Structure 1
Amino acid sequence: MKLVVVSAGLSSPSSTRLLADRLTAETLGHLDAEPEVIEVRELATQIAQHLVTGFPPAPLAAALDAVAGADGLIAVTPVFAASYSGLFKSFFDLIDKDALTGTPVLLGATGGTARHSLVTEHAMRPLFTHLRALVLPTAVYAASQDWGEAGLARRITRAGTELARSMRPTTPNTIRGTVLDTVLDAALDVDTAAAIAPRSSTGAITSVDPTHGFTTVSFEQRLAALRGE
């Protein structure tokens, strides 16, 4: 499996790359995958050339192919003018419109203030939804004051676990062992059982006990319980 990480930080080192690295490490803690990191700033001149000429230089073409062939994608950008950076957008403008269809994508962004924390929702999520990617529920925004805080660590853990689970093959023999798997599977089992709970021919309602299975309760018994009898 291949995990591709796109970091659009403009400096070296950068908080954007740091967030990308932490998200990558968390994902790989739950999944055996081959990571590949793309530093967009190193391709800035080639991106501009491609936008003008329509022909990507070899390093840029390799990066675009890597994104298109990814089993999972982490995309992290710094915030500029309350949105993703122009370099970040220019890179994804070059991605074929069908290349990310169904690909799990974890969104991340960094900024100097918490006031831009919704950039992942009002700017990044619509972009990747347009590309028909499978955008994960948890996105991670890191303001300057967030580094070292427990809240950021928890969001990174949740997001990385979601991406790992989305990338994991869904086969009967798949080994699944994360806490998130256990919690979500338990909830899914109960919800599914409730959805398919049969009704008896006499109109009795079947309630669901996740431990002992189905229990048939007659209307008379249910009514008596409501009356306190």
Structure 2
Amino acid sequence: MVEIAAQQPLRVVAVSGSLHIPSKTSALLDAILDRVAREQPIDAHIIELTAIGPEFAGALTREQLPPSVERELVRIENADLLIVASPVYRGSFTGLFKHLFDFVGQYSLVDKPVLVAATGGGDRHALILEHQFRPLFGFFQALTLPIGVYASNSDFTDYALTSPAVQERIDLAVQRGLPFVRNRVRDAGSVSDYVGAW
């Protein structure tokens, strides 16, 4: 079973809370996804709030969501690994990022591995990972991975991540985090056992 979990593609969903294109937050997500893919075959899906935000911004209940957003929620709930990132906006993640997760089933993320990441104007915002992201996913009883990734504006050049220190942080986050993900998949059964839910 461990061997199966290590070889079958992991279903990875990355959620960008950025409200702009181009986006440093999305560039950071891409870098993390690329690093995960070097360690483990993945079936990656990226959710950009710039694309789907207008479709759910005014919804008050999940029943009011259009099918396109419902499909994205199902992907989040059935992922083997979530990678979530947001720019720091007024001391927290963006409102639309939180609004999206307000629709996620309360018990749909129990024990689900989540790698948290954020971008901000400077290093003083780095604690968003501990003070905002971890409590949110703690509510869902998700397994927030040990190391998060934060990048400042100065870590990018023309929306490309160019900081060796942040790349090293990504390396460490992935190397430390993937064993938890593989164990979760192993404990849940073979990836192929529930591939239809994807």
Asked if these proteins are the same fold (TM beyond 0.5), I'd say yes
Match of 2:112 in 1: 103
Match of 2:102 among 93, 106, 126: 93
Match of 1:121 in 2: 130
Bigger relative contact order (CA 8 A; separation at least 6): 2
* Contact 2:17 2:86 (8 Å CA) reproduced: yes
Secondary structure, counterpart of 1:11 in structure 2:
coil
Report the residue type matching 2:21 in the other structure: S
After the TM superposition, which residues 1-229 of structure 1 pair with which residues of structure 2 at under 5 Å, given as runs? 1-51=10-60, 54-147=63-156, 148-169=162-183
Match of 1:216 in 2: none
Shift of 1:169: 4.5
Match of 1:182 in 2: none
Q: Which has the larger radius of gyration?
A: 1
Report the residue type matching 1:48 in the other structure: A
Which stretches of structure 1, 4 residues or more, deviate above 3 A after TM superposition?
169-172
Please give the alpha-carbon distance, in whole angstroms, between the structure 1 residues aligned to 2:68 and 2:93: 23
Secondary structure, counterpart of 1:168 in structure 2:
helix
TM-score (norm 2): 0.81
Please give the alpha-carbon distance, in whole angstroms, between the structure 2 residues aligned to 1:54 and 1:104: 27
Report the residue type matching 1:157 in the other structure: D
* Contact 1:104 1:134 (8 Å CA) reproduced: yes
Please give the alpha-carbon distance, in whole angstroms, between the structure 2 residues aligned to 1:43 and 1:105: 21
The root-mean-square deviation of aligned C-alpha atoms, in Å, is: 1.8
Please give the alpha-carbon distance, in whole angstroms, between the structure 2 residues aligned to 1:4 and 1:52: 22
Shift of 1:31: 0.9
Please give the alpha-carbon distance, in whole angstroms, between the structure 1 residues aligned to 2:131 and 2:181: 25
Shift of 1:53: 7.5
* Contact 1:103 1:133 (8 Å CA) reproduced: yes
**Fraction of identical pairs, as percent:** 33
TM-score (norm 1): 0.71
